[in-house]
Structure 1
């Protein structure tokens, strides 16, 4: 059931209350509802599709009649049409967290990211050192969530063939083909499957896009199809202020019993009760904020907010700490293609391809290729950056035919990033809980990260010096005349953070004072409270994040069902 705002007809008690309808919340809600539980999903943002009230319509699909007349049968917003991901990312509603661009819409960042679907390596998950979360334990959940669409991988035992999320490559652009040729000439092997453990070579990214050319997000594939179930309710435009706990007389462990939710547009606050569990899926920036507002966090830190947070229910010093992210430098090149580029230059034919079969550039993210960048020409079989090529310049235009070459650091050096509460305690209680948290995130406090990205830029230039790119592409920004030191300064001033935030409520052993959740994702020190999003990741994977978050959520759903129904 979908309800756009709080009203008298909404029931107040559910088996599970899930905070957030992003990728992890969508998956867990769907699985629990399928298991027969009553589930309430609370989403602070608005709808991402036409059926949920969004009117950012950018395309339709339908049928072409014998007389040449086109009849639309489906309407799609910019959150659903892959080519418009940059529009949804740059102009869609985001949380008001300075320094971040986290989507505030149903589906969360899973409905505005670039759709690159990339797992971490086995070493990443084994390195978490948490029982039940090594690579062998994660693989079944990657497989469960996925349907691989690439014919060469049709028999692969490392990929799923019947999961909700459609995944495949989309080779279409002249830049991509030229880049692959230059990589091969430069000595980089072709990597036919970017989801394998080999972090080397060039190839085509896999994207979560379905055969009809529509974004295949967890919200679209897990939660949205279930909104007609009577035991599943989605409320949009609802902020969770805090989680409420009860203290049993005969048990010293507090129990998460309900949440206080607030509709900003009406000013109405409502308490919803969870009979089994409250489940946090608000993302790595909002989940720690809600924990701290609720009295779960470092007791000495929370003491400074005692007028608004009078009780500490679990003294977990790791809440909000261990914040991690990837970051990248987007370099600009001129590019003189020898053939036509399938871009906006001919929108009629491209729109027609999409409208009648999901084809054309609209059914792609607008880019296709990448490479695992070695530190230098003599290194083999190792990488430290991932590279991608975008047609044009993200969010702007150039007076010349251009492309962007992104260099993204794979594993940033350890640091002390964190997220903390807003500092204004003079606000009313509601406004205090609503105020944005503050990021303490300095991308380049460690010189090693600057040096890594500089090496990546130098390696891209080496690759591009081989044919055919050497005759078609020229670096514009940063200019090729910069010294290594000057290039380092450019990296510091021009790089941007991804939205791969993670680690702020990390998973670990119960004797680890910095761990926030145990191996079953239960918040340590309280009962009936669990976290299922990227907050729980101990160390950021050597990959993009979405595939890992999806696998975590699938595993989390199994853990919840096992614990509550076994």
Structure 2
């Protein structure tokens, strides 16, 4: 299981019993109630059509139907003359994937690629085989079907930094319109501010179910001297309630937001259960002209008249580039792959947000989201009938604090705390604080296991290989403990659950040495994998794509997903990935609709063509 799941191990086990073993009535009753009360919402015809057969050629082929791919398929088919094929390796969403409280149960399911990092000596020490799981969505909608639906754009300094590194057009003021373009902000107070808007495809709303601990968390932040903020507003440092990609208490995945409304467009074909295995590239002209994929056990080929667009994510995109001859020359030769472009940055620069698990506080009052209150007949019917109740809670996530440790920069270089009310320990209500590092200095690597496209790549997250990352998380733990000591939390009798971590018993509790050990034991990925196909100008030898998201050294090929991030953004990355796809779609439209521009622009390359 994932790092977060290991923290909640007893809770998940209990929930499994409640939902499937001890109370066999819950799941079928729940599904029947949803079907009865929401038959119109769950009509199979409302989902994207899965074409039975793929045409020989299209104008654009989009690989991956996740957060980026769904946006691209929508925006490109706004041009009626363009035929677009969206290839997705997984299948459809289900009623269960719509339920916010069940998101953790989807990890390790058929909706998950089930990747795992390689064993580590610096992190994930308390995990099985010292490996952190890398949950990635294998379903239409991608990881937006499995995530906790948090809508966080990041810090304006993230994007200004991208622009300062030569990525023209990617400053905060230039990307903000693309965040607004997607958004349908359902909180009327936020919708009237300059940082939000209504009417877009992507619903953003407040969670219907709240506990007193969420409010107390915000009050605790004020006691610590922080302002209350709009997490996506002018300033980020401070405490804020979360915003969610949610509508009527149900998950809004990228597929539900961007594909369902346009499923009747004649120029859009969606092919599910289609695993792309290779990009077709002319070795003479260095132009991508199609893809190979496997569907129903049969290898197929399809041609792209204009462009092939990789939106397969931080693992899938570099893997496909390398399998197709674009990557570090020595590595490709070692795997017996003919080298088309020696691009040393492919699969490098891997980033993720990691947190520290297990920082739990016992409370004396029955106020938290515990399993017995969520998984019962009353909550199931309440959810099915009115879209309310504890099942609308995103695994207890309610509020967040962005703070700066003594190792941070002058402003907005933050640790992030989740207030997660997750389980009962020793039959008591509990809340958890999860310090999360937002600007890691450690970098990971993705490499091919072999030239077999069906074999998963080797993932080396390299968490905490830079000593500064350990220091930041250590200070985050201290700040989390201080939050539990505020008057706002003490009202509920909050006290730290100080059971020593078995792997750190050799160190005195509460010392820096103990917390350093704790951080390395209880490393939790937050599943924000990014950076493995870095965006940068031709002067950057490790850049994989240019600021127009075109692959250096290859014509007709772009990468548009989280892998292009030069540095990771401050917060959950689903909203930034959707923004990247919105902006990328406009770049493609400009390129092909401006008379003569495709002929005038030469390939911008920083790579060695072999």
TM-score of Structure 1 vs Structure 2, range by shorter chain: 0.7 to 0.9
| C-alpha separation in 2, matches of 1:176 and 1:194 | 15
- TM-score, normalisation: structure 2: 0.80
Measured at CA, do residues 30 and 379 of structure 1 come closer, stay the same or move farther in structure 2, by a change above 3 Å? closer
| Residue of structure 1 in register with 2:20 after alignment | none
Q: 2:155 aligns with which of 107, 121, 124?
A: 121
Number of matched residues? 516
How far apart in 1 are the matches of 2:593 and 2:498? 58
Q: Secondary structure at the match of 2:116?
A: coil
Determine which of 290, 293, 301 is the counterpart of 1:261: 293
Q: What stretches of structure 1 of length at least 5 have no aligned partner?
A: 50-75, 426-431
Other-structure match for 2:107? 89
**1:231 is aligned to 2:267:** yes
Aligned-residue offset at 1:3: 6.3
Q: Structure 2 vs 1, CA of residues 402 and 244 (structure 1 numbering), >3 Å: closer, same or farther?
A: same
The 5 A counterparts of 1:34-433 are: 34-36=78-80, 37-49=82-94, 76-77=95-96, 79-89=97-107, 91-99=109-117, 100-129=134-163, 130-170=167-207, 172-191=210-229, 193-210=230-247, 212-247=248-283, 253-263=285-295, 266-306=296-336, 309-310=337-338, 312-338=339-365, 340-341=367-368, 344-346=371-373, 347-365=376-394, 366-375=396-405, 382-393=412-423, 399-413=427-441, 415-423=442-450, 432-433=452-453
Q: 1:482 to 1:43 in 2, by over 3 A?
A: same
Task: Give CA deviations for 1:214-256 in whole Å, capped at 9, x if unaligned.
Answer: 21221111013322322211112111110011245xxxx4111
Given that 2:370 and 2:429 are in contact with CA atoms closer than 8 Å, whether structure 1 keeps it comes out as no
Measure the CA separation in 2 of the matches of 1:405 and 1:444: 20
Alignment match, 1:16: 60
3-state SS of paired residue (1:241): strand
Q: What residue is the counterpart of 2:538 in the other structure?
A: 510
Q: Label 1:83 to 1:532 Cα distance change in 2 as closer, same or farther (>3 A).
A: same
SS of the aligned residue for 1:331 comes to: coil
Is residue 2–residue 235 contact of structure 1 (8 Å, CA) maintained in 2? no
Change over 3 Å in CA distance of 1:406–1:269 after alignment to 2 = same
Once the 2 structures are TM-superposed, how far is the Cα of residue 421 of structure 1 from its aligned partner?
Answer: 0.4
Aligned to 1:466: 486
Query: Structure 2 CA distance, aligned partners of 1:94 and 1:234?
Result: 19
Corresponding residue to 2:497 among 476, 481, 495? 476
Residue 563 of structure 1, CA deviation: 1.0
Query: Is residue 546 from structure 1 mapped to residue 580 from structure 2 by the alignment?
Result: no
- Using a 3 Å threshold, how does the CA distance of structure 1 residues 525 and 456 change in structure 2: closer, same or farther? same
Cα distance change, pair 257–378 in 1 and its aligned pair in 2 (3 A): closer
* Offset of residue 197 of structure 1: 4.3
Shift of 1:384: 2.6
Q: Determine helix, strand or coil for the equivalent of 2:250.
A: coil
- Looking at structure 2, the residues matched to 345 and 118 of structure 1 have their Cα atoms a distance apart, in angstroms, of 30
Q: How far apart in 2 are the matches of 1:374 and 1:315?
A: 40
Provide the alpha-carbon RMSD of the alignment: 2.4
Query: What's the offset of the Cα at 1:209?
Result: 0.7
1:90 to partner: Cα distance: 5.1
Bigger drift between 515-524 and 223-232 goes to 223-232
TM-score by length of 1: 0.86
1 CA distance for matches of 2:577 and 2:93?
20
1:325-377 Cα offsets, whole Å, 9 max, x none, are: 11001224243253544654343333333223222222231321111133279
**CA 532–478 in structure 1, closer or farther in 2 if over 3 Å, else same:** farther
Bigger mean CA deviation after superposition, 297-306 or 475-484: 475-484
Change (3 A) 1:382 1:141: closer
Change (3 A) 1:327 1:317: same
1:481-500 correspondence runs (5 A): 481-500=509-528
- Cα gap change, 1:222/1:478 in structure 2, threshold over 3 Å: closer, same or farther? farther
Q: Conserved in 2, the CA contact under 8 Å of 1:420 and 1:437?
A: yes
Kindly indicate whether the alpha-carbon contact (under 8 Å) linking 2:352 and 2:526 is maintained by their aligned counterparts in 1. Answer: yes
Q: Aligned to 1:34, what secondary structure does the other structure show?
A: coil
Change (3 A) 1:354 1:246: same
